[in-house]
């Protein structure tokens, strides 16, 4: 009787081992699911930036002006906002022209989306906002872009893991050099620190 009661008071080593294995499998499954979701969101971000850059180039090829700078936008593109009239410089130079750039791409059917809303995708750190804008430091929010950069695809709110992966596919693998950049050393001294916890407020992909 005493021995029977003693056995009922606790788990055997085999039972504990089984519980630990089950917990390990559950944790592994959870981590794998998070990794799959993150990879999917990273791919979505890269595709969205690529699509936006390609759409801007196609717009330029068709109309002879970068989106946001087309002076005849209201007449050339159906349903454009009447006030959306660009300048003759070819440089997106104001917040209004930047907003017009997205609208121009969507209303000309070169990009999908709501022409009245910012272009946003679900990112790894909330929503990532994309826009075609000018490369002027005050507008882009990225200090130290080369002086000869004119128009860019601006990527707002992501992290270094996403930016470095994007840079490896689209550029030279360093966010400090080439045609895809953050502010200096945001992703490490070499610009290739693939960290998920290093936040990137702004990155820029050069259009011209």
Is residue 119 exposed (0-12), middle (13-18) or buried (19+ Cβ within 10 Å)?
Answer: buried
Residue 83 lies inside a defined structural domain of this protein: yes
Q: What is the per-residue pLDDT across 66-76, written as a single tens digit (0 to 9) for each?
A: 999 999 988 89
Q: Which domain holds residue 54?
A: 38-206
Number of domains in the chain: 1
Report the C-alpha gap between 113 and 163 in whole angstroms. 23
In the chain, the DSSP E strands lie at 119-123, 126-134, 151-159, 180-182, 199-206
Q: What is the per-residue pLDDT across 30-43, written as a single tens digit (0 to 9) for each?
A: 666 566 667 788 88
Residue 102 lies inside a defined structural domain of this protein: yes
Report pTM: 0.81
CB neighbours of 164 closer than 8 A, spacing ≥ 6?
A: 173, 175, 187, 191, 192, 193, 194
Residue 18 lies inside a defined structural domain of this protein: no
Residue 129 lies inside a defined structural domain of this protein: yes
Residue 156 lies inside a defined structural domain of this protein: yes
Residue 3 lies inside a defined structural domain of this protein: no
DSSP codes joined into one string, 150-188? -EEEEEEEEEHHHHHHHHHHHSSS-TTSTTEEESTTTT-
Residue with tokens 């791409």: 105
Is residue 141 exposed (0-12), middle (13-18) or buried (19+ Cβ within 10 Å)?
Answer: middle
Q: What is the per-residue pLDDT across 95-120, written as a single tens digit (0 to 9) for each?
A: 889 889 999 999 999 999 888 888 88
């Amino acid at each position: 009787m005493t021995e029977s009661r003693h056995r009922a008071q606790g788990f055997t080593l085999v039972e504990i081992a089984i519980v630990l294995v089950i917990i390990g499998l559950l944790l592994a499954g959870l981590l794998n699911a998070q990794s799959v979701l993150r990879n999917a969101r990273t791919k979505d971000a890269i595709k969205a930036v690529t699509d936006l850059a390609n759409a801007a180039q196609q717009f330029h090829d068709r109309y002879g002006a970068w989106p946001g700078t087309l002076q005849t936008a209201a007449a050339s593109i159906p349903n454009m906002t009447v006030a959306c009239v660009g300048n003759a410089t070819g440089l997106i130079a104001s917040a209004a022209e930047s907003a017009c750039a997205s609208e121009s791409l969507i209303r000309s059917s070169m990009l999908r989306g709501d022409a009245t809303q910012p272009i946003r995708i679900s990112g790894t750190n909330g929503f990532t906002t994309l826009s075609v804008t000018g490369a002027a430091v005050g507008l882009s929010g990225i200090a130290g872009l080369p002086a000869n950069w004119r128009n860019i695809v601006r990527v707002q709110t992501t992290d270094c893991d996403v930016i470095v992966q994007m840079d490896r596919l689209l550029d030279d693998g360093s966010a400090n050099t080439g045609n895809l950049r953050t502010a200096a050393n945001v992703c490490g001294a070499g610009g290739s620190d693939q960290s998920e916890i290093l936040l990137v407020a702004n990155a820029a992909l050069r259009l011209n």
